Amino acid sequence: MSDTDPETTHMDTLSAYALTVATASNRNEICKAAEHAAVMTMGHSLFTVMAFDRERMEVERFYTSDPENYPAGGRKKKRDTDWGQFVLLDGQTYIGANDEDIRRNFDDHEIIAGLGLCSVINIPIKRMGVTIGTMNLLDTTAHYDERDACMGAIIAMGLVSAIQ
Protein backbone atom coordinates (compact mmCIF):
# COMPACT_ATOMS: atom_id res chain seq x y z
CA MET A 1 0.00 0.00 0.00
CA SER A 2 1.15 3.48 -0.78
CA ASP A 3 0.81 6.43 1.57
CA THR A 4 -1.98 7.82 -0.62
CA ASP A 5 -4.08 4.65 -0.28
CA PRO A 6 -7.47 5.50 1.31
CA GLU A 7 -7.10 2.70 3.89
CA THR A 8 -3.75 4.09 5.02
CA THR A 9 -5.15 7.61 5.13
CA HIS A 10 -8.12 6.44 7.19
CA MET A 11 -5.86 4.58 9.62
CA ASP A 12 -3.66 7.66 10.00
CA THR A 13 -6.76 9.79 10.62
CA LEU A 14 -8.17 7.37 13.21
CA SER A 15 -4.80 7.05 14.91
CA ALA A 16 -4.47 10.83 15.25
CA TYR A 17 -8.07 10.97 16.50
CA ALA A 18 -7.40 8.33 19.16
CA LEU A 19 -4.36 10.24 20.38
CA THR A 20 -6.36 13.48 20.59
CA VAL A 21 -9.16 11.78 22.52
CA ALA A 22 -6.65 10.25 24.95
CA THR A 23 -4.95 13.58 25.64
CA ALA A 24 -7.80 16.10 25.28
CA SER A 25 -8.41 18.53 28.12
CA ASN A 26 -12.08 19.23 27.31
CA ARG A 27 -15.03 17.83 25.39
CA ASN A 28 -14.96 20.51 22.70
CA GLU A 29 -11.47 19.38 21.73
CA ILE A 30 -12.72 15.78 21.47
CA CYS A 31 -15.72 16.84 19.37
CA LYS A 32 -13.57 18.92 17.00
CA ALA A 33 -11.30 15.90 16.54
CA ALA A 34 -14.33 13.67 15.89
CA GLU A 35 -15.65 16.15 13.33
CA HIS A 36 -12.28 16.16 11.56
CA ALA A 37 -12.01 12.35 11.61
CA ALA A 38 -15.56 12.05 10.27
CA VAL A 39 -15.04 14.48 7.40
CA MET A 40 -11.78 12.76 6.44
CA THR A 41 -13.23 9.22 6.51
CA MET A 42 -16.94 9.62 5.75
CA GLY A 43 -17.54 13.18 4.57
CA HIS A 44 -20.26 15.55 5.75
CA SER A 45 -21.72 19.01 5.34
CA LEU A 46 -23.19 19.11 8.85
CA PHE A 47 -21.84 17.41 11.97
CA THR A 48 -23.47 17.45 15.40
CA VAL A 49 -23.13 15.60 18.68
CA MET A 50 -26.09 15.22 21.01
CA ALA A 51 -26.45 13.91 24.56
CA PHE A 52 -29.42 11.63 25.26
CA ASP A 53 -31.67 12.15 28.29
CA ARG A 54 -33.34 8.75 28.63
CA GLU A 55 -35.87 9.89 31.25
CA ARG A 56 -37.15 12.76 29.09
CA MET A 57 -36.58 10.80 25.87
CA GLU A 58 -34.91 13.78 24.23
CA VAL A 59 -31.55 14.72 22.83
CA GLU A 60 -29.64 17.96 23.36
CA ARG A 61 -27.03 19.27 20.93
CA PHE A 62 -23.77 20.24 22.57
CA TYR A 63 -21.51 20.37 19.52
CA THR A 64 -22.20 21.58 16.00
CA SER A 65 -20.34 22.45 12.85
CA ASP A 66 -23.09 24.98 12.00
CA PRO A 67 -23.92 27.10 15.06
CA GLU A 68 -26.04 29.50 13.00
CA ASN A 69 -28.60 26.90 11.85
CA TYR A 70 -28.03 24.27 14.55
CA PRO A 71 -26.81 25.99 17.72
CA ALA A 72 -25.57 24.15 20.78
CA GLY A 73 -28.31 23.72 23.35
CA GLY A 74 -30.99 22.79 20.82
CA ARG A 75 -33.27 19.97 21.99
CA LYS A 76 -35.35 17.41 20.14
CA LYS A 77 -38.08 15.29 21.70
CA LYS A 78 -37.94 11.68 20.53
CA ARG A 79 -40.57 9.95 22.70
CA ASP A 80 -42.85 7.62 20.71
CA THR A 81 -40.89 8.00 17.47
CA ASP A 82 -39.60 5.16 15.32
CA TRP A 83 -36.23 6.93 15.12
CA GLY A 84 -36.04 7.25 18.92
CA GLN A 85 -36.79 3.58 19.37
CA PHE A 86 -34.33 2.48 16.69
CA VAL A 87 -31.36 4.74 17.50
CA LEU A 88 -31.74 5.74 21.14
CA LEU A 89 -33.35 2.69 22.73
CA ASP A 90 -32.24 -0.13 20.41
CA GLY A 91 -28.80 1.46 19.83
CA GLN A 92 -28.82 0.97 16.05
CA THR A 93 -27.25 3.23 13.44
CA TYR A 94 -29.80 4.97 11.22
CA ILE A 95 -28.98 5.73 7.58
CA GLY A 96 -31.38 7.96 5.68
CA ALA A 97 -30.68 8.24 1.97
CA ASN A 98 -33.12 10.85 0.68
CA ASP A 99 -35.58 13.69 1.37
CA GLU A 100 -38.37 11.29 2.34
CA ASP A 101 -36.19 9.60 4.98
CA ILE A 102 -35.39 13.04 6.40
CA ARG A 103 -39.04 14.19 6.32
CA ARG A 104 -40.27 11.02 8.00
CA ASN A 105 -37.85 11.19 10.93
CA PHE A 106 -36.99 14.82 11.68
CA ASP A 107 -39.28 17.70 12.63
CA ASP A 108 -36.68 20.17 11.31
CA HIS A 109 -36.72 18.61 7.82
CA GLU A 110 -37.42 21.99 6.19
CA ILE A 111 -34.24 23.50 7.64
CA ILE A 112 -32.29 20.42 6.57
CA ALA A 113 -33.69 20.62 3.03
CA GLY A 114 -33.00 24.37 2.94
CA LEU A 115 -29.33 23.61 3.57
CA GLY A 116 -29.32 21.22 0.60
CA LEU A 117 -28.89 18.17 2.82
CA CYS A 118 -30.67 14.98 1.80
CA SER A 119 -28.93 12.13 3.59
CA VAL A 120 -28.13 11.41 7.19
CA ILE A 121 -26.33 8.93 9.37
CA ASN A 122 -27.09 8.90 13.11
CA ILE A 123 -24.66 6.81 15.11
CA PRO A 124 -25.44 5.99 18.73
CA ILE A 125 -22.75 6.79 21.26
CA LYS A 126 -22.81 4.00 23.82
CA ARG A 127 -21.35 3.44 27.25
CA MET A 128 -21.39 -0.20 28.33
CA GLY A 129 -24.13 -1.02 25.82
CA VAL A 130 -26.41 1.90 26.72
CA THR A 131 -26.97 4.80 24.32
CA ILE A 132 -25.87 8.09 25.90
CA GLY A 133 -25.84 10.27 22.79
CA THR A 134 -25.63 10.42 19.02
CA MET A 135 -23.13 11.53 16.44
CA ASN A 136 -24.97 12.92 13.41
CA LEU A 137 -23.68 13.60 9.91
CA LEU A 138 -25.68 15.02 7.02
CA ASP A 139 -24.75 15.44 3.37
CA THR A 140 -26.03 15.04 -0.19
CA THR A 141 -28.44 12.35 -1.40
CA ALA A 142 -27.48 8.71 -0.70
CA HIS A 143 -24.10 9.69 0.70
CA TYR A 144 -23.83 7.14 3.55
CA ASP A 145 -23.66 3.35 3.56
CA GLU A 146 -22.80 0.43 5.84
CA ARG A 147 -19.07 1.11 5.50
CA ASP A 148 -19.71 4.58 6.92
CA ALA A 149 -21.69 3.01 9.77
CA CYS A 150 -18.64 0.93 10.70
CA MET A 151 -16.27 3.89 10.46
CA GLY A 152 -18.72 6.05 12.40
CA ALA A 153 -18.99 3.51 15.21
CA ILE A 154 -15.23 3.76 15.72
CA ILE A 155 -15.34 7.55 15.83
CA ALA A 156 -18.39 7.54 18.13
CA MET A 157 -16.49 5.45 20.68
CA GLY A 158 -14.13 8.37 21.22
CA LEU A 159 -17.07 10.63 22.07
CA VAL A 160 -18.08 8.63 25.15
CA SER A 161 -15.83 10.73 27.38
CA ALA A 162 -17.29 13.95 25.91
CA ILE A 163 -20.77 13.12 27.22
CA GLN A 164 -21.13 13.72 30.93
CA atoms in the 13 A half-sphere facing the CB of 150? 4
Please report the pLDDT score of residue 2 as a whole number: 47
Partners of residue 62 on adjacent β-strands = none
| Each residue's pLDDT tens digit, 113-137 | 999 999 999 999 999 999 999 999 9
CATH topology of domain 6-162: Beta-Lactamase (3.30.450)
Residues 89 and 124: their CA atoms lie apart, in Å, by 9
| Each residue's pLDDT tens digit, 52-83 | 999 999 999 999 999 999 999 999 999 889 99
Domain parsing of the chain, residue ranges: 6-162
Entry pTM: 0.93
Q: 7: pLDDT confidence band, cut at 50, 70 and 90?
A: confident
